[in-house]
Structure 1
Amino acid sequence: MDADILLSKTYLYEHNIRNQVIPNALFVSFRKNIGFDDPLLNLSTMKRGIENPNAIDDSRVFNQAKKEQAGWGDANINDRLIELLDDTNYFKNYNYGNAVGVYDLPGVVSGHNISLRRENALSVRGFSTEFQGWGLEDKHFAAKVVSQGNYVNPVLNSSVYHIGYGPRGGDQDRKINELNKNYEAYQKLLQEGWY
């Protein structure tokens, strides 16, 4: 869980139930982006519990190519709007190696809010330390988890709020450079394996 995430009051319950029932899955929820001035950031509101967002604006649901998404070929950048849940039947239609835009199955896992059983995380030795700066450590983790026979399941009835603060250090170009370097590291790690 990232520090810039606020959980809705049903999040832990919904994820816990799923982890109890489905032992071989990694669960992802979607996010609603909010600003620093959002009323949800009031301490008394947070103590009462935050309601689930009525709408989400997560790039894994609706997405148009952006240059900060490593892996887009120049030929298809800005080609079409992706509706990932519909295009993949809620991630069920992913097969080995296929993708919708930049999103393959591990790519739909955003580490800011995921859950899985402890033994599944330990079996792949957790997150790699090979990534520097921003991006792709969560995708690599998910690739390892999926390779062990786990599914990636969306949790649609419980989302999170993400406090938008912009790129770390305020520099979008630096963020994109870090992502591109991490994309190279990701490709290398996929070739090497991890066991």
Structure 2
Amino acid sequence: MVIPAFDVGYCLPAVLDALAAQTFAAEVIVVDDASTDHTADIARAHPVVARVVRLPERLGAATARNIGTVATSGNTIVFLDADMVLPPHVIADLAVRACDDVVLVGFRHNITYGAEPLPGTPDLYADHRVRWRPPVGQPLMYSGLVLDRPIEGHPLDETRDLVDLGYGRMYYDWDLPRMVVTALMAAPRHAVIDIGGFDPEFGRLGWGMEDTHLGAKLIATGLYVVPVRQATGFHLDPPNADALWRTKLATWPATLHHYRSLLQAPMPRRAVAEFMAVTHRLLSRSEVFR
């Protein structure tokens, strides 16, 4: 499990406690993206964490995930956001389905900061890929479509668990790569390395699209995207959720433009060599604990 973490002291203990309670044990690596709070100390002190890597400066979640990919040795990598609390069965649900030709996609149920206690079971339909209420009369974020009436869409249901996506097909604002969200996602480690991992430029530009781009590359190499409905966790909003969301949205046009430009370019020929060289250089400059 690779967990990129930046200033998540407010939620990381709950996330790690939930991993300690999983019915299937996994190696847990936390990559601290130069946090300014006590994130690294929390990770170092928790018994479920096998390794903590602290980056020398803030480089973004894409780079943090790349470092974690190199730092682990498992056949399957579960990418998990540092604000996702998982029910005890979720890692087992992913592990039993993991194989060399699939990307396993989980889901999230957003919880407002400070809401206690958590509901007993995460609601699959709280994920916007499952129940989707888009705005009317303004361009949609991804496709640019403008809807003239309100709808309650069900992208997962109405694409037959994504079977009807792929090959350029879309469901309004959704295509197959955009369904790949690394808040909770599993993929073969060798496949992630073979495509050169996450493009770190996304982290420099702002927020979003690095997981969609990873999904597009994995799909292009022949992997299938498989949703695992029961793999749904609680996503814990930060204290400043509204301000953070506005900041993220402000950078969306730049990351979307970068993503579109990458889709027009051929796959890099030396992806593996460059990926390993860059990540090992960064790893050598980082602090590694345990």
Fold shared per TM-score above 0.5: yes
Q: Which amino acid aligns with 2:188?
A: R
Q: 1:179 to 1:54 in 2, by over 3 A?
A: closer
Alpha-carbon distance in structure 2 between the residues aligned to 1:59 and 1:78: 18
User: How much does 1:32 deviate?
Assistant: 1.1
1:120 Cα deviation after fit = 1.5
C-alpha RMSD of matched pairs (Å): 2.5
Asked whether 1:176 is paired with 2:239, we answer: no
- Normalized against structure 2, the TM-score is what? 0.58
Q: Quick one: higher RCO (CA 8 Å, sep 6+), 1 or 2? A: 1
Matched with 1:130 is 201
Looking at structure 1, the residues matched to 235 and 87 of structure 2 have their Cα atoms a distance apart, in angstroms, of 11
Q: Distance in 1 between matches of 2:235 and 2:256?
A: 24
* 1:161 matches 2:238: no
> Relative to 1, partners in 2 of residues 1:122 and 1:157: Cα closer, same or farther, differing over 3 Å?
same
Aligned to 2:152: 81
TM-aligned CA deviation for residue 69 of structure 1: 5.5
Q: Which has the larger radius of gyration?
A: 2
Match of 2:164 in 1: 93
Q: Residue 168 and residue 125 in structure 1: after superposition, are their counterparts in 2 closer, same or farther (change >3 A)?
A: farther
**CA–CA distance in 2 between the matches of 1:83 and 1:72?**
17
TM-score when normalising by structure 1 = 0.84
User: 1:4 Cα shift?
Assistant: 1.0
Alignment: residue pair count: 185
Alignment pair present for 1:116 and 2:187: yes
Q: How do 1:141-156 residues align onto structure 2 when only pairs under 5 Å count?
A: 141-156=214-229
What stretches of structure 1 of length at least 5 have no aligned partner?
Answer: 42-49
2:122 is the counterpart of 1:53? yes
Q: What is aligned with 2:267?
A: 194
Residue 114 of structure 2: SS of its match in structure 1? Answer: coil
Using the aligned pairs only, state the percent identity.
26
User: Match of 1:140, as an amino acid?
Assistant: H
Cα deviations across residues 124-172 of structure 1 (Å, max 9, x unaligned)? Answer: 1111112122111110000000001001111112211101237778154
Query: Partner of 1:47 in structure 2?
Result: none
Deviation at 1:72, TM superposition (A): 3.7
Paired with 1:17 and 1:74, the residues of 2 have a C-alpha distance of 38
Q: Is the 8 A contact 1:32 1:53 kept in 2?
A: yes
